[in-house]
Amino acid sequence: MNMSWSRQYMDRRRALTAAVGLAGGAFLTPTRGPAPAAAAAAYTNPVVWQDFADIDVIRVGSTYYASASTMHYSPGAPVLRSYDLVNWEIAGHSVPVLDFGAKYDLNGARGYVRGIWASSLAYRPSNRTFYWLGQIDFARTYVYTATAVEGPWSRLTTISTPYYDAGLLVDTDDTLYVAYGNTTISVAQLSPDGRSQVRTQQVFTTPSSVGTLEGSRFYKINGQYYIFLTRPANGQYILKSSGGPFGPYTMRQVLLDLRGPISGGGVPHQGGLVQTQGGAWYYMAFVDAYPGGRVPVLAPVTWTSDGWPVVQLVNGAWGTSYPAPAVPAPPRQVTPMTGVDTFDGTALKPRWEWNHNPDNTKWSTGNGLTLRTATVTNDLYWARNTLTHRIQGPTSTATVQLDHSGMRDGDRAGLALLRDSSAWIGVKRDGGTARVVMVNGLTMDGSWNTTGTGTEVASAAAPSGTVWLRATADIRPGSARPGTFSYSTDGTRFTPLGPAFSMGNDWRFFMGYRFALFNHATQALGGAVRIPRFELSTP
C-alpha cells in the first residue's frame, strides 16, 4: 500500500468501479426457514437503476443488505435493504459524516472523487453487530459499527494500514479477516475486538497477462476461502484456497468482456456473491452506465464440482431477465426510491446526500426543507449545503416547489443536474428583483478544479413567492444524453427554459449525475429558501 495516489488513480481510471459482495461470508450454508413462496415469473436487470457503486451484499436471516461507494457525498456508504434481492430500499448510511479532513467540509479544499471508495459491509453474529470497513485517502482504514443498519453508526477504530478496496470476512470461528490491494493482494487478520491489525501477509500477485485486479470480496464457502476480484473494467476473477485464509491461492477467470444487460452499458464486474435462505447463489455486479453512473445487476450462479462459481448466462450474455429468486414472501413492501418528499420529519430521509459535509446550522426540515445560505461564492462547486438525489433510470423527472421570498440580493437557488459538467434552473435575485434562469457551462477539469462557473442562457420573470422548477434527465448510457429544464407559476403548466443540456458520459468523475437542490450567496449570507415538496417521477 505504498502506491502513489497518481498510480492508484490511473488504476481507478480503468476501473469505473462498483460492486456488490457478500462480506461476513463465513455463514454461507443454507439455513432452514419458511417454505419459499412461489417465485414471480422473472425480474429484469438492472435491479436498481440508480448509481450504487462498489456494492457489497450480505444476507442476515431473511434480509439482504448492500453497501455502496459515495465518494465526496455525505453521509457516506449507504446501506440498502431487500427481502428478495430484486426490490431494494435505502435504509441508512454507515458513515454519518466525512470527518476525514477540512476538504470534506469545502473548507479551503475540496474532496471531489475522494472519500468513500470500494469498502465492505459485514455482520458478526457473535455480537449481533454490523461492521463497515474502508480506507480513506490511501492513509488509513476506518471501521464503523451499528446494531441496526438504520443506525446510529459509530466509529469503532482507525487502523494505520489503508486496506484498499477491502473485503471483510467474519470466519466461522468469529475471527475477522480483510482481503485488500491492487494487483498485489494481501490478507490481514484483525484483533478479536476488531480494533487493530494482528497480522498482514501478501497472498497473491496478479499475473501480468491479467493486468490489474482489485475490489476484493472475501468468503469462506464449504471450508474453502475465496477472494473475489475485479479486472477493471471488463472482467471478474476469483482466488481459492484450501489451506486457510493466508493461502496459497489459485486463480480462475469468472468472466471477461461479457456482454451486459444494459444497452450501451459496460461489462458487469466488481461484484459479490450472496446465498439465499434456500441455498441458491447470486452474483450482484455493476454496469458502467454513464451519464447515470454505475448500476447494479443480478445473475444466478452455480458451482462446479471442484468449487468454482459459474455465472448463468442467457444467449452468451448476462441476462436482461432471469427467474426471480425463490425466497419467502417479504414482511412488507420496501420504500420506493421514487416519489414525493415533503421533508416533514426532523431528519432527512436516507435517499438524500449532501455534496460534501453540510453546515448543520444552515438547514432544517419539518415544515419543508429550509436552506439558508451557507457560502458566499459564485461557484456552485464551492457552495456548501447542496443536497443531492440520485437520478432514476432510464429517464426521470425531478420537480421542486421553491419558496424564494426569503432570498436576498446576490442569492442563487434552484435545481441542478450536478456532476463535473453541470447545469441548473433556479432563481437569481439581484437589485430587489427575482428572475427564473437557466444556467449551463459549470465545469471542472480532470483534477476537479473549477474551469467554468456557468453562463446564464435563458431567463424569465419570477412569480412572487413560489415557483416550481423541473429537470428531466435521460441517463441511458452509450452517448451524451439530454437534460431539460422548465418552470411553472402554478405547479401544473410548465414552460421550457433554455436549451437542452448535454450530460457528459465520461467515467472519470465516477459518480453519475444527480439532481441537486442548492442555495448560495454571491454577496452576503442571510438569505433562505424553503422547499415544501420534491418529487422524483418516471414516465
- The SS3 call for residue 10 is helix
With contact defined as beta carbons under 8 Å apart, do 227 and 238 qualify?
Answer: yes
In terms of Cβ atoms closer than 10 Å to its own Cβ (0-12, 13-18, 19+), residue 46 is: buried
pLDDT of residue 349: 98
Closest-CA residue to 234 (of 270, 262, 200, 263) = 270
pLDDT of residue 219: 98
Share of the chain above pLDDT 90, in %: 92
10 has a pLDDT exceeding 70 = no
The Cα–Cα gap between 500 and 171 comes to 53
113 has a pLDDT exceeding 60 = yes
Closest-CA residue to 222 (of 275, 179, 168) = 275
- Residues 322-366 have pLDDT tens digits of 999 999 999 999 999 999 999 999 999 999 999 999 999 999 999
Closest-CA residue to 76 (of 279, 337, 358) = 358
Q: How many beta carbons lie within 10 A of that of residue 266, not counting itself? A: 22
pLDDT of residue 365: 98
Q: pLDDT class for 11, splitting at 50, 70, 90?
A: very low
The Cα–Cα gap between 364 and 347 comes to 8
- Residues 397-438 have pLDDT tens digits of 999 999 999 999 999 999 999 999 999 999 999 999 999 999
The Cα–Cα gap between 507 and 175 comes to 38
Copy the grid coordinates of residue 210. 491479467
pLDDT of residue 481: 95
111 has a pLDDT exceeding 80 = yes
**CB-facing half-sphere around the CA of 102: CA atoms within 13 A:** 3
CATH number for region 339-537: 2.60.120.200
130 has a pLDDT exceeding 70 = yes
Cα-based distances in Å from 103 to 3, 111, 112, 116: 22, 5, 9, 14
275 has a pLDDT exceeding 70 = yes
Closest-CA residue to 174 (of 134, 143, 229, 128) = 128
The Cα–Cα gap between 439 and 501 comes to 10
Q: What is the dihedral of CA 104, 158, 179, 30, to 10 degrees?
A: -100
Copy the grid coordinates of residue 21. 459482495
The Cα–Cα gap between 503 and 291 comes to 6
- Residues 202-251 have pLDDT tens digits of 999 999 999 999 999 999 999 999 999 999 999 999 999 999 999 999 99
Cα-based distances in Å from 497 to 329, 424, 470, 489: 47, 10, 10, 13
The Cα–Cα gap between 359 and 375 comes to 9
6 has a pLDDT exceeding 70 = no
Q: pLDDT class for 479, splitting at 50, 70, 90?
A: confident
Q: pLDDT class for 17, splitting at 50, 70, 90?
A: very low
**CA angle (393 as vertex; 392, 394 as ends), nearest 5:** 150
Ordered by start, the domain boundaries in the chain are 5-322, 339-537
The Cα–Cα gap between 366 and 529 comes to 14
38 has a pLDDT exceeding 80 = no
Residue 372 or 22, more confident: 372
The Cα–Cα gap between 282 and 309 comes to 10
Q: What is the mean pLDDT of residues 6-34?
A: 36
- Residues 396-408 have pLDDT tens digits of 999 999 999 999 9
Q: What is the mean pLDDT of residues 373-387?
A: 98
Copy the grid coordinates of residue 470. 423541473
pLDDT of residue 35: 42
To the nearest whole number, what is the mean pLDDT of the chain? 93
CATH number for region 5-322: 2.115.10.20
pLDDT of residue 271: 87
- Residues 151-209 have pLDDT tens digits of 999 999 999 999 999 999 999 999 999 999 999 999 999 999 999 999 999 999 999 99
Residue type at position 253: Q
With contact defined as beta carbons under 8 Å apart, do 306 and 495 qualify?
Answer: no
Closest-CA residue to 507 (of 78, 112, 17, 137) = 17
pLDDT of residue 5: 36
- Residues 56-92 have pLDDT tens digits of 999 999 999 999 999 999 999 999 999 999 999 999 9
Closest-CA residue to 108 (of 356, 332, 275) = 356
Handedness of CA 253, 230, 165, 22 (dihedral sign): negative
The Cα–Cα gap between 507 and 504 comes to 9
